[in-house]
A and B are shown apart, each in its own frame.
Chain A
Amino acid sequence: MDQIAFIFDILLPALMQGLVITLKLIVWSAPFGLALGIGVAAGRQYGGPVLSWVCKMFVFLIKGTPLLLLLFILYFGLPSIGITFTAFTASVIGFILCNGAYNSEYIRGALLSIKDGQMIAAQALGMTRAQAIRNVIMPQALRRAIPGLSNEFIYLIKYSSLAYMITVVELSGVGKNVATKYFIYTETFMVVGIVYLVLVTITTIAVNILEKRVAVPGMNRAAAAQL
Protein backbone atom coordinates (compact mmCIF):
# COMPACT_ATOMS: atom_id res chain seq x y z
CA MET A 1 0.00 0.00 0.00
CA ASP A 2 1.45 3.28 -1.16
CA GLN A 3 0.02 5.46 1.58
CA ILE A 4 1.19 3.19 4.36
CA ALA A 5 4.71 3.31 2.95
CA PHE A 6 4.50 7.11 2.73
CA ILE A 7 3.37 7.42 6.32
CA PHE A 8 5.92 5.03 7.81
CA ASP A 9 8.95 5.62 5.58
CA ILE A 10 8.73 9.33 4.92
CA LEU A 11 6.25 11.10 7.15
CA LEU A 12 6.88 9.65 10.60
CA PRO A 13 10.71 9.91 10.52
CA ALA A 14 10.37 13.56 9.45
CA LEU A 15 7.75 14.25 12.10
CA MET A 16 10.03 12.87 14.80
CA GLN A 17 12.51 15.65 14.03
CA GLY A 18 9.72 18.20 14.29
CA LEU A 19 8.49 16.62 17.49
CA VAL A 20 11.89 17.22 19.09
CA ILE A 21 11.60 20.95 18.33
CA THR A 22 8.02 21.03 19.63
CA LEU A 23 9.10 19.34 22.86
CA LYS A 24 12.01 21.76 23.20
CA LEU A 25 9.61 24.70 22.83
CA ILE A 26 7.34 23.26 25.51
CA VAL A 27 10.14 22.30 27.91
CA TRP A 28 11.59 25.82 27.72
CA SER A 29 8.25 27.59 28.00
CA ALA A 30 6.30 25.65 30.62
CA PRO A 31 8.49 26.13 33.73
CA PHE A 32 8.98 29.85 33.12
CA GLY A 33 5.31 30.21 32.26
CA LEU A 34 4.42 28.62 35.59
CA ALA A 35 6.91 30.83 37.46
CA LEU A 36 5.56 33.94 35.73
CA GLY A 37 2.02 32.87 36.54
CA ILE A 38 2.85 32.44 40.23
CA GLY A 39 4.66 35.79 40.31
CA VAL A 40 1.86 37.68 38.57
CA ALA A 41 -0.85 36.07 40.69
CA ALA A 42 1.03 36.81 43.92
CA GLY A 43 1.78 40.35 42.78
CA ARG A 44 -1.85 40.96 41.93
CA GLN A 45 -3.13 39.47 45.16
CA TYR A 46 -0.55 40.62 47.71
CA GLY A 47 1.32 43.45 45.98
CA GLY A 48 0.79 47.16 46.61
CA PRO A 49 -1.67 49.13 44.47
CA VAL A 50 0.95 49.86 41.79
CA LEU A 51 2.29 46.33 41.45
CA SER A 52 -1.16 44.83 41.51
CA TRP A 53 -2.33 47.28 38.80
CA VAL A 54 0.71 46.43 36.67
CA CYS A 55 0.00 42.70 37.00
CA LYS A 56 -3.66 43.24 36.14
CA MET A 57 -2.78 45.27 33.05
CA PHE A 58 -0.25 42.67 31.96
CA VAL A 59 -2.89 39.94 32.08
CA PHE A 60 -5.47 42.15 30.35
CA LEU A 61 -3.11 43.11 27.51
CA ILE A 62 -1.70 39.63 26.91
CA LYS A 63 -5.10 37.95 27.02
CA GLY A 64 -6.52 40.48 24.59
CA THR A 65 -3.75 40.11 22.02
CA PRO A 66 -3.79 37.07 19.73
CA LEU A 67 -0.75 34.90 20.44
CA LEU A 68 0.16 34.97 16.76
CA LEU A 69 0.27 38.79 16.80
CA LEU A 70 2.40 38.65 19.96
CA LEU A 71 4.85 36.35 18.17
CA PHE A 72 4.91 38.73 15.17
CA ILE A 73 5.69 41.64 17.50
CA LEU A 74 8.51 39.69 19.17
CA TYR A 75 10.04 38.36 15.98
CA PHE A 76 9.26 40.93 13.26
CA GLY A 77 8.52 44.00 15.36
CA LEU A 78 11.25 44.23 17.99
CA PRO A 79 14.17 44.17 15.50
CA SER A 80 12.94 47.54 14.20
CA ILE A 81 13.78 49.03 17.61
CA GLY A 82 17.06 47.16 17.84
CA ILE A 83 16.08 44.04 19.81
CA THR A 84 16.68 40.85 17.86
CA PHE A 85 15.79 37.31 18.88
CA THR A 86 16.16 34.05 17.03
CA ALA A 87 12.82 32.64 15.93
CA PHE A 88 13.05 29.93 18.59
CA THR A 89 13.76 32.40 21.40
CA ALA A 90 10.99 34.73 20.23
CA SER A 91 8.55 31.80 20.25
CA VAL A 92 9.58 30.73 23.72
CA ILE A 93 9.25 34.29 25.06
CA GLY A 94 5.81 34.61 23.47
CA PHE A 95 4.66 31.30 24.93
CA ILE A 96 5.99 32.21 28.38
CA LEU A 97 4.15 35.56 28.36
CA CYS A 98 0.90 34.00 27.15
CA ASN A 99 1.09 30.91 29.35
CA GLY A 100 2.07 33.01 32.35
CA ALA A 101 -0.86 35.39 31.93
CA TYR A 102 -3.41 32.58 31.72
CA ASN A 103 -1.75 30.57 34.52
CA SER A 104 -1.89 33.59 36.81
CA GLU A 105 -5.68 33.67 36.50
CA TYR A 106 -6.02 30.11 37.75
CA ILE A 107 -3.50 30.63 40.55
CA ARG A 108 -5.23 33.85 41.59
CA GLY A 109 -8.54 32.04 41.74
CA ALA A 110 -6.92 29.36 43.90
CA LEU A 111 -5.33 32.00 46.16
CA LEU A 112 -8.73 33.61 46.63
CA SER A 113 -10.18 30.24 47.63
CA ILE A 114 -7.78 29.93 50.59
CA LYS A 115 -9.45 31.44 53.62
CA ASP A 116 -8.11 34.73 55.07
CA GLY A 117 -7.89 33.06 58.45
CA GLN A 118 -4.89 31.06 57.31
CA MET A 119 -2.85 34.20 56.66
CA ILE A 120 -3.91 35.63 60.03
CA ALA A 121 -3.07 32.36 61.80
CA ALA A 122 0.33 32.13 60.09
CA GLN A 123 1.16 35.70 61.08
CA ALA A 124 -0.02 35.05 64.62
CA LEU A 125 2.51 32.20 64.71
CA GLY A 126 5.22 34.74 63.95
CA MET A 127 5.64 34.20 60.20
CA THR A 128 6.19 37.19 57.98
CA ARG A 129 3.72 37.79 55.13
CA ALA A 130 6.21 36.46 52.59
CA GLN A 131 6.84 33.34 54.65
CA ALA A 132 3.12 32.76 55.10
CA ILE A 133 2.51 33.09 51.36
CA ARG A 134 5.38 30.77 50.50
CA ASN A 135 4.89 28.10 53.14
CA VAL A 136 1.18 28.15 53.91
CA ILE A 137 -0.92 29.75 51.17
CA MET A 138 0.94 28.79 47.96
CA PRO A 139 1.34 25.05 48.65
CA GLN A 140 -2.42 24.77 49.06
CA ALA A 141 -3.34 27.16 46.26
CA LEU A 142 -1.06 25.48 43.70
CA ARG A 143 -2.63 22.10 44.44
CA ARG A 144 -6.07 23.55 43.83
CA ALA A 145 -4.86 25.21 40.63
CA ILE A 146 -3.58 21.96 39.10
CA PRO A 147 -6.66 21.25 36.92
CA GLY A 148 -6.57 24.78 35.45
CA LEU A 149 -2.81 24.78 35.04
CA SER A 150 -2.88 21.43 33.27
CA ASN A 151 -5.47 22.83 30.86
CA GLU A 152 -3.12 25.68 30.10
CA PHE A 153 -0.26 23.23 29.63
CA ILE A 154 -2.35 21.38 27.05
CA TYR A 155 -3.08 24.69 25.32
CA LEU A 156 0.67 25.33 25.31
CA ILE A 157 1.27 22.02 23.50
CA LYS A 158 -1.30 22.94 20.86
CA TYR A 159 -0.37 26.59 20.47
CA SER A 160 3.32 25.73 20.16
CA SER A 161 2.33 25.02 16.53
CA LEU A 162 2.09 28.78 15.97
CA ALA A 163 5.89 28.97 16.19
CA TYR A 164 5.83 27.67 12.62
CA MET A 165 4.31 31.00 11.56
CA ILE A 166 7.56 32.71 12.58
CA THR A 167 9.73 30.11 10.80
CA VAL A 168 10.38 27.60 13.61
CA VAL A 169 9.92 24.31 11.76
CA GLU A 170 8.39 22.21 14.51
CA LEU A 171 5.85 19.40 14.27
CA SER A 172 3.23 21.27 12.23
CA GLY A 173 5.90 22.93 10.14
CA VAL A 174 7.49 19.61 9.21
CA GLY A 175 4.02 18.30 8.40
CA LYS A 176 3.31 21.27 6.15
CA ASN A 177 6.64 20.90 4.34
CA VAL A 178 6.18 17.17 3.76
CA ALA A 179 2.56 17.65 2.65
CA THR A 180 3.55 20.34 0.16
CA LYS A 181 6.46 18.32 -1.20
CA TYR A 182 4.45 15.13 -1.81
CA PHE A 183 1.02 16.73 -2.43
CA ILE A 184 -0.48 14.48 0.24
CA TYR A 185 -2.41 16.79 2.52
CA THR A 186 -5.28 15.04 4.29
CA GLU A 187 -3.30 12.01 5.45
CA THR A 188 -0.30 14.10 6.51
CA PHE A 189 -2.26 16.53 8.64
CA MET A 190 -4.31 13.70 10.12
CA VAL A 191 -1.09 12.01 11.24
CA VAL A 192 0.27 15.31 12.58
CA GLY A 193 -3.01 15.73 14.45
CA ILE A 194 -2.74 12.24 15.90
CA VAL A 195 0.76 13.05 17.22
CA TYR A 196 -0.71 16.07 19.00
CA LEU A 197 -3.57 13.95 20.32
CA VAL A 198 -1.04 11.48 21.72
CA LEU A 199 0.89 14.31 23.40
CA VAL A 200 -2.30 15.74 24.87
CA THR A 201 -3.52 12.34 26.06
CA ILE A 202 -0.18 11.50 27.71
CA THR A 203 -0.24 14.88 29.45
CA THR A 204 -3.75 14.30 30.74
CA ILE A 205 -2.75 10.95 32.21
CA ALA A 206 0.46 12.38 33.69
CA VAL A 207 -1.43 15.25 35.31
CA ASN A 208 -3.90 12.86 36.92
CA ILE A 209 -1.00 10.89 38.41
CA LEU A 210 0.69 14.10 39.55
CA GLU A 211 -2.50 15.34 41.16
CA LYS A 212 -2.82 12.11 43.19
CA ARG A 213 0.90 12.17 44.09
CA VAL A 214 0.90 15.66 45.53
CA ALA A 215 -2.51 15.39 47.14
CA VAL A 216 -2.53 15.97 50.89
CA PRO A 217 -4.68 13.24 52.48
CA GLY A 218 -7.90 14.73 53.78
CA MET A 219 -7.30 18.17 52.29
CA ASN A 220 -9.53 17.71 49.28
CA ARG A 221 -12.47 16.66 51.40
CA ALA A 222 -12.01 19.67 53.62
CA ALA A 223 -11.77 21.86 50.53
CA ALA A 224 -14.94 20.37 49.12
CA ALA A 225 -16.77 20.97 52.37
CA GLN A 226 -15.48 24.52 52.42
CA LEU A 227 -16.72 25.17 48.90
Chain B
Amino acid sequence: MDVLSILIDWSPYIVTGIAATLGLVLIALGIGVLLGLPMALGQVYGSRPVRWVIGVYVWFFRGLPILVLLFLFWFGIFPGIGLGDVPAFFVGAVVLGLRGAAYQSQIFRGAIQSISEGQMIAARSLGMSRFVAICSVILPQAMRIALPGWSNEYPNMLTDSAVCYAIGVAELLTITSRIVAQTYLTMPIFLVSAGIFILLNYGGIKVLHGLERRIAIPGFGSGAV
Protein backbone atom coordinates (compact mmCIF):
# COMPACT_ATOMS: atom_id res chain seq x y z
CA MET B 1 0.00 0.00 0.00
CA ASP B 2 2.89 2.24 0.80
CA VAL B 3 4.25 1.79 -2.70
CA LEU B 4 0.87 2.44 -4.28
CA SER B 5 0.28 5.70 -2.44
CA ILE B 6 3.76 6.92 -3.29
CA LEU B 7 3.17 6.03 -6.93
CA ILE B 8 -0.09 7.97 -6.91
CA ASP B 9 1.66 10.96 -5.38
CA TRP B 10 4.30 10.91 -8.07
CA SER B 11 2.02 10.01 -10.95
CA PRO B 12 1.76 13.53 -12.46
CA TYR B 13 5.57 13.56 -12.61
CA ILE B 14 5.62 10.10 -14.22
CA VAL B 15 3.11 11.33 -16.80
CA THR B 16 5.45 14.15 -17.80
CA GLY B 17 8.15 11.52 -18.30
CA ILE B 18 5.89 9.40 -20.49
CA ALA B 19 4.98 12.50 -22.50
CA ALA B 20 8.65 13.37 -23.00
CA THR B 21 9.50 9.81 -24.04
CA LEU B 22 6.64 9.70 -26.55
CA GLY B 23 7.60 13.17 -27.76
CA LEU B 24 11.17 12.04 -28.37
CA VAL B 25 10.00 8.94 -30.21
CA LEU B 26 7.43 10.70 -32.40
CA ILE B 27 9.69 13.62 -33.35
CA ALA B 28 12.59 11.27 -34.05
CA LEU B 29 10.46 8.92 -36.16
CA GLY B 30 9.16 11.98 -38.06
CA ILE B 31 12.67 13.26 -38.74
CA GLY B 32 13.62 9.72 -39.72
CA VAL B 33 10.91 9.50 -42.37
CA LEU B 34 11.45 13.04 -43.68
CA LEU B 35 15.19 12.42 -44.12
CA GLY B 36 15.21 8.67 -44.64
CA LEU B 37 12.83 8.57 -47.60
CA PRO B 38 14.70 11.15 -49.74
CA MET B 39 17.93 9.38 -48.78
CA ALA B 40 16.53 6.07 -49.99
CA LEU B 41 15.41 7.65 -53.27
CA GLY B 42 18.83 9.24 -53.61
CA GLN B 43 20.52 5.91 -53.08
CA VAL B 44 18.39 4.19 -55.70
CA TYR B 45 17.96 6.91 -58.35
CA GLY B 46 20.73 9.38 -57.50
CA SER B 47 24.02 10.04 -59.25
CA ARG B 48 27.24 8.45 -58.03
CA PRO B 49 28.38 11.30 -55.70
CA VAL B 50 24.89 11.49 -54.16
CA ARG B 51 24.90 7.76 -53.51
CA TRP B 52 28.38 7.97 -52.02
CA VAL B 53 27.51 10.80 -49.62
CA ILE B 54 24.38 9.00 -48.44
CA GLY B 55 26.35 5.78 -48.04
CA VAL B 56 28.90 7.49 -45.80
CA TYR B 57 26.11 9.11 -43.76
CA VAL B 58 24.42 5.74 -43.22
CA TRP B 59 27.72 4.01 -42.37
CA PHE B 60 28.56 6.71 -39.81
CA PHE B 61 25.21 6.88 -38.05
CA ARG B 62 24.69 3.13 -37.98
CA GLY B 63 28.21 2.40 -36.82
CA LEU B 64 28.32 4.67 -33.76
CA PRO B 65 26.68 3.79 -30.44
CA ILE B 66 23.72 6.02 -29.63
CA LEU B 67 25.48 7.06 -26.42
CA VAL B 68 28.55 8.31 -28.32
CA LEU B 69 26.32 10.13 -30.83
CA LEU B 70 24.45 11.86 -28.00
CA PHE B 71 27.71 12.88 -26.31
CA LEU B 72 29.15 14.06 -29.64
CA PHE B 73 26.19 16.29 -30.46
CA TRP B 74 25.36 17.44 -26.94
CA PHE B 75 28.91 18.32 -25.79
CA GLY B 76 30.61 18.84 -29.14
CA ILE B 77 28.66 19.72 -32.25
CA PHE B 78 25.73 21.74 -30.92
CA PRO B 79 27.87 24.04 -28.72
CA GLY B 80 30.42 24.12 -31.56
CA ILE B 81 27.92 25.63 -34.00
CA GLY B 82 26.67 28.11 -31.42
CA LEU B 83 23.62 26.15 -30.32
CA GLY B 84 24.90 25.44 -26.81
CA ASP B 85 21.69 26.77 -25.26
CA VAL B 86 19.16 24.47 -26.92
CA PRO B 87 17.39 22.14 -24.51
CA ALA B 88 18.60 18.57 -24.12
CA PHE B 89 15.21 17.34 -25.30
CA PHE B 90 15.75 19.01 -28.66
CA VAL B 91 19.27 17.57 -29.04
CA GLY B 92 18.05 14.10 -28.03
CA ALA B 93 15.20 14.16 -30.54
CA VAL B 94 17.46 15.41 -33.35
CA VAL B 95 20.17 12.81 -32.69
CA LEU B 96 17.63 9.97 -32.47
CA GLY B 97 16.07 11.30 -35.67
CA LEU B 98 19.34 11.61 -37.60
CA ARG B 99 20.30 8.11 -36.54
CA GLY B 100 16.82 6.77 -37.28
CA ALA B 101 17.02 8.28 -40.78
CA ALA B 102 20.10 6.16 -41.48
CA TYR B 103 18.29 2.97 -40.43
CA GLN B 104 14.98 3.91 -42.08
CA SER B 105 16.63 4.84 -45.37
CA GLN B 106 17.78 1.23 -45.68
CA ILE B 107 14.28 -0.09 -45.02
CA PHE B 108 12.84 2.23 -47.68
CA ARG B 109 15.67 1.45 -50.09
CA GLY B 110 15.04 -2.28 -49.81
CA ALA B 111 11.33 -1.74 -50.43
CA ILE B 112 11.91 0.52 -53.47
CA GLN B 113 14.36 -1.98 -54.94
CA SER B 114 11.88 -4.80 -54.45
CA ILE B 115 9.52 -3.17 -56.98
CA SER B 116 10.45 -4.69 -60.32
CA GLU B 117 12.11 -2.35 -62.81
CA GLY B 118 9.46 -3.10 -65.40
CA GLN B 119 7.06 -0.88 -63.50
CA MET B 120 9.24 2.16 -64.00
CA ILE B 121 9.68 1.31 -67.67
CA ALA B 122 5.93 0.80 -68.09
CA ALA B 123 5.14 4.08 -66.33
CA ARG B 124 7.65 5.94 -68.51
CA SER B 125 6.22 4.40 -71.66
CA LEU B 126 2.78 5.67 -70.60
CA GLY B 127 4.28 9.16 -70.73
CA MET B 128 4.89 9.74 -67.02
CA SER B 129 8.01 11.63 -66.01
CA ARG B 130 10.45 9.84 -63.72
CA PHE B 131 9.29 12.00 -60.83
CA VAL B 132 5.60 11.26 -61.43
CA ALA B 133 6.35 7.55 -61.84
CA ILE B 134 8.22 7.47 -58.53
CA CYS B 135 5.46 9.37 -56.70
CA SER B 136 2.42 7.65 -58.12
CA VAL B 137 3.60 4.18 -59.12
CA ILE B 138 6.69 3.13 -57.18
CA LEU B 139 6.25 4.76 -53.77
CA PRO B 140 2.62 3.78 -53.10
CA GLN B 141 3.67 0.15 -53.47
CA ALA B 142 7.09 0.49 -51.84
CA MET B 143 5.72 2.23 -48.75
CA ARG B 144 3.26 -0.60 -48.17
CA ILE B 145 6.06 -3.14 -48.46
CA ALA B 146 8.27 -1.05 -46.15
CA LEU B 147 5.67 -0.70 -43.41
CA PRO B 148 6.23 -4.03 -41.59
CA GLY B 149 9.98 -3.37 -41.42
CA TRP B 150 9.38 0.25 -40.56
CA SER B 151 7.09 -0.82 -37.69
CA ASN B 152 10.14 -2.34 -36.02
CA GLU B 153 11.64 1.13 -35.81
CA TYR B 154 9.06 2.12 -33.21
CA PRO B 155 10.11 -0.34 -30.47
CA ASN B 156 13.77 0.27 -31.29
CA MET B 157 13.30 4.01 -31.05
CA LEU B 158 11.33 3.67 -27.82
CA THR B 159 14.05 1.67 -26.08
CA ASP B 160 16.83 3.84 -27.53
CA SER B 161 15.10 7.02 -26.36
CA ALA B 162 15.92 5.95 -22.80
CA VAL B 163 19.60 6.55 -23.52
CA CYS B 164 18.76 10.29 -23.64
CA TYR B 165 18.99 9.92 -19.86
CA ALA B 166 22.74 10.33 -20.41
CA ILE B 167 22.38 13.96 -21.52
CA GLY B 168 19.72 14.77 -18.95
CA VAL B 169 16.53 14.75 -21.01
CA ALA B 170 13.64 14.47 -18.54
CA GLU B 171 12.18 11.37 -20.19
CA LEU B 172 10.71 8.37 -18.42
CA LEU B 173 13.98 6.74 -17.32
CA THR B 174 15.38 10.03 -15.98
CA ILE B 175 12.13 10.66 -14.11
CA THR B 176 12.27 7.10 -12.80
CA SER B 177 15.77 7.47 -11.41
CA ARG B 178 14.85 10.82 -9.84
CA ILE B 179 11.88 9.25 -8.09
CA VAL B 180 14.10 6.39 -6.92
CA ALA B 181 16.57 8.90 -5.50
CA GLN B 182 13.74 10.70 -3.66
CA THR B 183 11.83 7.73 -2.30
CA TYR B 184 14.45 4.96 -1.98
CA LEU B 185 11.81 2.55 -3.31
CA THR B 186 14.31 1.21 -5.79
CA MET B 187 12.93 -2.04 -7.13
CA PRO B 188 9.18 -1.25 -7.24
CA ILE B 189 9.73 2.04 -9.07
CA PHE B 190 12.12 0.47 -11.61
CA LEU B 191 9.67 -2.36 -12.26
CA VAL B 192 6.74 0.03 -12.71
CA SER B 193 8.85 2.02 -15.14
CA ALA B 194 9.75 -1.14 -17.06
CA GLY B 195 6.05 -2.02 -17.12
CA ILE B 196 5.20 1.38 -18.61
CA PHE B 197 7.87 0.98 -21.30
CA ILE B 198 6.54 -2.49 -22.14
CA LEU B 199 2.97 -1.18 -22.35
CA LEU B 200 4.01 1.72 -24.60
CA ASN B 201 5.89 -0.76 -26.74
CA TYR B 202 2.96 -3.18 -26.97
CA GLY B 203 0.38 -0.46 -27.59
CA GLY B 204 2.44 1.14 -30.33
CA ILE B 205 2.97 -2.17 -32.10
CA LYS B 206 -0.79 -2.87 -31.98
CA VAL B 207 -1.51 0.53 -33.56
CA LEU B 208 1.06 -0.07 -36.31
CA HIS B 209 -0.31 -3.53 -37.09
CA GLY B 210 -3.79 -2.01 -37.34
CA LEU B 211 -2.41 0.57 -39.75
CA GLU B 212 -0.78 -2.18 -41.84
CA ARG B 213 -4.11 -3.96 -42.19
CA ARG B 214 -5.92 -0.71 -42.97
CA ILE B 215 -3.77 0.35 -45.89
CA ALA B 216 -3.30 -3.16 -47.28
CA ILE B 217 -4.50 -3.67 -50.86
CA PRO B 218 -6.30 -7.02 -51.20
CA GLY B 219 -4.15 -9.44 -53.13
CA PHE B 220 -1.08 -7.19 -52.94
CA GLY B 221 1.30 -8.54 -50.37
CA SER B 222 4.71 -9.98 -49.89
CA GLY B 223 3.72 -12.88 -52.14
CA ALA B 224 2.65 -10.65 -55.01
CA VAL B 225 5.97 -8.94 -55.60
**Residue ranges of A at the interface with B (Cβ–Cβ < 8 Å):** 60-61, 63-70, 72-73, 76-81, 158-162, 164-165, 172, 175-176, 179, 185-190, 192-193, 196-197, 200-201
Evaluate contact between A162 and B67: CB separation under 8 angstroms: yes
State the majority secondary structure of interface residues on B. helix
Q: Which residues of A contact B190 (CB under 8 A)?
A: 69, 72-73, 76-77
A195's nearest neighbour on chain B, judged by CB, is B68
CB pair B202–A66 under 8 Å, yes or no, is: no
Which residues of B in the span 51-73 have a Cβ within 8 Å of any Cβ on A? 59-60, 63-69, 71-72
Could you say which of A81, A158, A165, A200 contacts B187, with CB atoms under 8 Å apart?
A81
Query: Given contacts A64-B155, A200-B63, is CB(A189)–CB(B193) below 8 Å?
Result: no
Q: Knowing A69-B176, A76-B180 touch, does A185 contact B67 (C-beta < 8 A)?
A: no
Minimum C-beta distance from A98 to chain B (A): 9
B83 within 8 A of A: no
A80 touches B187 (CB 8 A): yes
Whether the Cβ atoms of B173 and A66 lie closer than 8 Å is: yes
Known contacts A158-B66, A193-B64, A197-B60; A67 and B191 CB within 8 A of each other: no
Residue of A nearest to B159 (CB): A66
Tell me the nearest residue of chain B to A67, going by C-beta: B159
Contact B64 A197 (CB under 8 A): yes
B-side residues, CB < 8 A to A, are: 59-60, 63-69, 71-72, 75-77, 79-80, 155, 158-163, 165-166, 173, 176-177, 180, 186-187, 190-191, 193-194, 197-198, 201-202
The answer to whether A162 touches B68 (Cβ under 8 A) is no
Closest B residue to A159 by CB, please name it.
B65
Whether A64 and B72, one on each chain, are in contact in the complex, defined by CB atoms closer than 8 angstroms, is: no
Which one of A78, A172, A193 has the greatest number of beta carbons of chain B within 10 Å? A193
Nearest-neighbour CB distance to chain B for A212, whole angstroms, equals 23
Bound Cα distance from A21 to B67, whole angstroms: 17
A-B contact pairs, 30 of them (CB 8 A): A64-B155, A64-B159, A65-B159, A65-B197, A66-B173, A66-B197, A67-B162, A68-B173, A69-B162, A69-B173, A69-B197, A72-B173, A73-B187, A158-B65, A162-B67, A172-B68, A175-B71, A179-B76, A185-B75, A185-B79, A185-B80, A186-B72, A186-B80, A188-B76, A190-B72, A193-B60, A193-B64, A196-B64, A196-B65, A197-B59
Chain B residues whose C-beta falls within 8 Å of the C-beta of A67 in the assembled complex: 159, 162
Contact call A193/B186, Cβ cutoff below 8 A: no
Once bound together, how far apart are the Cα atoms of A37 and B177, in whole Å? 30
- What separation, in Å, do the CA atoms of A165 and B166 have in the docked complex? 7
Q: For B166, list chain A residues within 8 Å (CB).
A: 165
CA distance A200 to B60 in the complex (A): 11
Q: How far is the CB of B174 from chain A (nearest CB, A)?
A: 10
Distance in angstroms from A203 CB to nearest chain B CB is 10
Whole-angstrom distance between the alpha carbons of A79 and B180 in the complex? 13
| A77-B186 in contact (CB<8A) | yes
Nearest opposing residue in chain A for B173, CB measure: A69
Residues on B with C-beta less than 8 A from A160 are 65
Which residues of chain B are within 8 angstroms of A175 by Cβ–Cβ distance? 68, 71
Using Cβ atoms and an 8 Å threshold, which residues of chain A touch B191? 73, 77
Partner among A60, A78, A165, A197 whose Cβ is within 8 Å of the Cβ of B165: A165
Once the chains bind, are B159 and A76 in contact (CB under 8 Å)?
no
Please give the distance in Å from A208's CB to the nearest CB on chain B. Answer: 16
- C-alpha spacing A146/B193, complex, angstroms: 34
Q: Please give the distance in Å from A137's CB to the nearest CB on chain B.
A: 25
